[in-house]
Structure 1
């Protein structure tokens, strides 16, 4: 990787961190207002679609479009580029609007499919929320499609911060209207539209034009539609597993769906700061290397990427194992979110966090195959793991509740990571060489230093949130970074 890639990763990571921090604030306010009630269950399971499934559709559109647009930008004229983009936007608008309209018409049946365990008055509220959220399919698709265009042109920073106004809008609605779930639904849908509008000035700056004939027979767009479903299924394993988890949880006691949602949101928010930032920055360069058939540089890039991710995610996992309950209490426990809510959510948070390796593999390895335009390989692996998750949830949800549901998703993500690592090796060769293994071995020293501080804090702290949790947390992080510095790991983490 060039030095610019490393700088982009750092910059995008910082901006995503602040965006996610605001997302934390949104979740904190939401949890304080609604807690883990049946109404929260209804909202969380219904809005899993725009937040998880629809976002996955949008990311799939962006993933297919980035290599194609890169081709037009590098090899074709601006007029050809504009015709391609204008037709793509027009068709996405048409199809998104039609699907949203059908969703509004058939909302009662769709609600029963999404949330089969809800009943009584809550079903009516859930049906209304389903109708409110259906237009977000169009807005989310346009948002992610535009984000991909911005990334091709190097606007990584703007694409990383578009969720800030979205989160501010929801926080404002929660503070002003309190537990008005209907208003919150409308505001959430409007927030997605706002994320699209924010990006339009860059399209104007890059001289994109959207007027002209809609080319329904454009070869690139036809191929995009053909590859959309494979990418959606291949790149959405975690998101689809979470939707299945929450649907099964509607059959369990009140608050179970909400606890799963809060726990998974906390896991994804904390880890995606780095995982998504890394995949966002490297994908355009992967596409460029694939056009050049430069597999050696691809292997070098993957080795560097996973060194950074392992260095960051290993201490995250150790701290979650040690302090999952304290973290959830610090983030959520206030207002309607009680100690009982904390107990349920911390279990979900801990077990979902075990999926972190598989989540990283999903985001990074899939980008390799999308750059290679081999979309069916991730899809097949994802379908296998998705079926396993469905079976495990069915067998475990009544017997083991939150533990069985969340652990089945982590197992399936880990299995997916193992499968995809073998598939990547077959395509471009192994990026796990002696240098990579040596780096992984050296990490045992900083990890040991961190665990020593955590153990000492658990055994000898005088009690209270500062001494029992926050102080050991800071000291253990310092021990990890200090030991890594002494071991000379800094030079292994430089992205070039």
Structure 2
């Protein structure tokens, strides 16, 4: 559904500057969402699985405590972002005029509401994934893209603001449905202040490390968008469209595989099946690299045709195709290394190797920024895509080395 949403966006808005502004505002808030969501998932899932086969009240009390903590974090973060987002945008967005920065700020106010709803809704989906309710979780994720399509069809004459209407209304409905599902599934009392103090230290310690690790990875996308803004009109939207089909494969295969394996890795650790984890990890990485490289090369060969078939209609013309397809080709090459990085990161999360991952993410952020700066001068927005590819190769390789060394240190 998310991919079909992009077809409507391309048809009605092409690679316009207005879409650039909205996408930058959305990237700013989405970056915060993915940082928090990744930290929540890596904190909650391993602990949730420890309670899975224990007393039901223990599991429910743990989840209620987690919800209370992340409700507070979400309120604090979104309130701070509302009051200080203008200063932040001015600080990190060098490629926009004062009037464009005002437009970005206006879009941000919609997306901060979306951010708060998404934080809480994503916690429910994390719990469903940990309990292997993947189908229900997948259905919930299709709600917001559906509402974006609906709002574009109804309000497209108002411009790109119709996308913001869809994002906020979809996030609200998605949260309400997720809330109802979780209440029915676990019969939870979602606010539990009695156990909060005893759970707070351990949860917040792990969360803080994962948050800062995710912060540097999340800032890579925001840095890419900031450099793309320097390329003139259509720079950000071209980068956005170039990532859509690669992101589709990421979502269909890489993210799903990582989510399923994370639950399996954590469950094996809880049952002390470390050797099973090592065997599964090594075999999965080999399979992903072999088939991933072959698949990505095939996609590169048909990249231009894919862009033309999928997006070339309405405001998205032949000129747009020529701008976008080289970006897409570079990002297709990223796919096997993206899978390797995510699977290795999930194993690191399961064994709580979070400090090592934090250091890798910090270095990856600065490496990507340096590569953006160097390559955009020679290759334009395509250089940003190649910078992303090289950063993923670096990050995936280091994640894999850390995991293998961990297994060797345990003499598994």
Shorter-chain TM-score category? over 0.9
1:39-79: CA deviation from partner (whole Å, max 9, x where unpaired):
1111111101333431231122022101111112234x322
Alignment of 1:75-474 (within 5 A): 75=54, 77-178=55-156, 180-203=159-182, 204-219=184-199, 221-234=200-213, 239-310=218-289, 312-429=291-408
> Given that residues 55 and 140 in structure 1 are in contact (C-alpha distance below 8 angstroms), is that contact kept between their aligned partners in structure 2?
no
1:328-367: CA deviation from partner (whole Å, max 9, x where unpaired):
1111111111111111111111112222232112211111
What is the Cα deviation at residue 414 of structure 1? Answer: 0.2
1:258-277: CA deviation from partner (whole Å, max 9, x where unpaired):
10111122211123211111
1:293 aligned counterpart, secondary structure: coil
1:135 aligned counterpart, secondary structure: helix
> Given that residues 61 and 141 in structure 1 are in contact (C-alpha distance below 8 angstroms), is that contact kept between their aligned partners in structure 2?
no
> Given that residues 296 and 336 in structure 2 are in contact (C-alpha distance below 8 angstroms), is that contact kept between their aligned partners in structure 1?
no
What is the Cα deviation at residue 308 of structure 1? Answer: 4.7
1:162 aligned counterpart, secondary structure: helix
Task: Mark the structure with the bigger radius of gyration.
Answer: 1
> Given that residues 147 and 199 in structure 1 are in contact (C-alpha distance below 8 angstroms), is that contact kept between their aligned partners in structure 2?
yes
With 170-179 and 208-217 compared, the bigger mean Cα shift is at: 208-217
**Residues in 2 aligned to 1:364 and 1:110: alpha-carbon distance in whole angstroms:** 33
> Given that residues 347 and 403 in structure 1 are in contact (C-alpha distance below 8 angstroms), is that contact kept between their aligned partners in structure 2?
yes
Residue of structure 2 in register with 1:46 after alignment: 25
**Residues in 2 aligned to 1:130 and 1:89: alpha-carbon distance in whole angstroms:** 25
What is the Cα deviation at residue 120 of structure 1? Answer: 4.1
- Unaligned regions of 5+ residues in structure 2, if any? none
> Given that residues 337 and 392 in structure 2 are in contact (C-alpha distance below 8 angstroms), is that contact kept between their aligned partners in structure 1?
yes
Matched pairs, number = 407
With 210-219 and 249-258 compared, the bigger mean Cα shift is at: 210-219
**Residues in 2 aligned to 1:261 and 1:229: alpha-carbon distance in whole angstroms:** 30
What is the Cα deviation at residue 290 of structure 1? Answer: 1.4
What is the CA RMSD across the aligned residues, in angstroms? 2.1
**Residues in 2 aligned to 1:238 and 1:93: alpha-carbon distance in whole angstroms:** 23
Q: TM-score, normalised by structure 2?
A: 0.92
User: Residues 142 and 176 of structure 1: is their aligned pair in 2 closer, same or farther, counting only changes over 3 Å?
Assistant: same
With 413-422 and 392-401 compared, the bigger mean Cα shift is at: 392-401
> Given that residues 337 and 396 in structure 2 are in contact (C-alpha distance below 8 angstroms), is that contact kept between their aligned partners in structure 1?
yes
Q: TM-score, normalised by structure 1?
A: 0.77
**Residues in 2 aligned to 1:282 and 1:307: alpha-carbon distance in whole angstroms:** 15
What is the Cα deviation at residue 320 of structure 1? Answer: 2.1
> Given that residues 136 and 193 in structure 1 are in contact (C-alpha distance below 8 angstroms), is that contact kept between their aligned partners in structure 2?
yes
**Residues in 1 aligned to 2:85 and 2:221: alpha-carbon distance in whole angstroms:** 21
What is the Cα deviation at residue 112 of structure 1? Answer: 1.9
> Given that residues 29 and 108 in structure 2 are in contact (C-alpha distance below 8 angstroms), is that contact kept between their aligned partners in structure 1?
no
**Residues in 1 aligned to 2:113 and 2:198: alpha-carbon distance in whole angstroms:** 26
